[in-house]
Amino acid sequence: MAKKRKLPLKACVKCKALVQDTVEVCPICGSREFTEEWDGFIAVIDPEKSEAAKMLSISQKGVFSIKVH
């Protein structure tokens, strides 16, 4: 079985924004709580027109995890 490659990203526990491992404060919500345990991601370009963003309660542009553990 192939080894799963880890992206150098962590997810904000509060808003699910994905950021580089070196970021200390979430640029979306200002939280300092992050996790490396997340699954899937979505890139939101126009949150007002995106049905997926609405389903996930995402209201800003960015890259977000689908699920945070």
- pLDDT of 4: 57
Q: Which residues of 34-61 are buried (b: 16+ CB within 10 A; e: fewer)?
A: beeebeeebebeebeebeebeebebeee
At 57, phi and psi to the nearest 5? 60, 40
Q: What is the pTM of this model?
A: 0.85
- pLDDT of 3: 54
Mean pLDDT in consecutive groups of 10 residues from the start of the chain, 69 residues: 70 96 96 95 96 93 94
Beta strands in 2-61 (DSSP E): 9-12, 18-20, 34-35, 38-44
CA angle 60, 66, 69 (to 5 degrees): 120
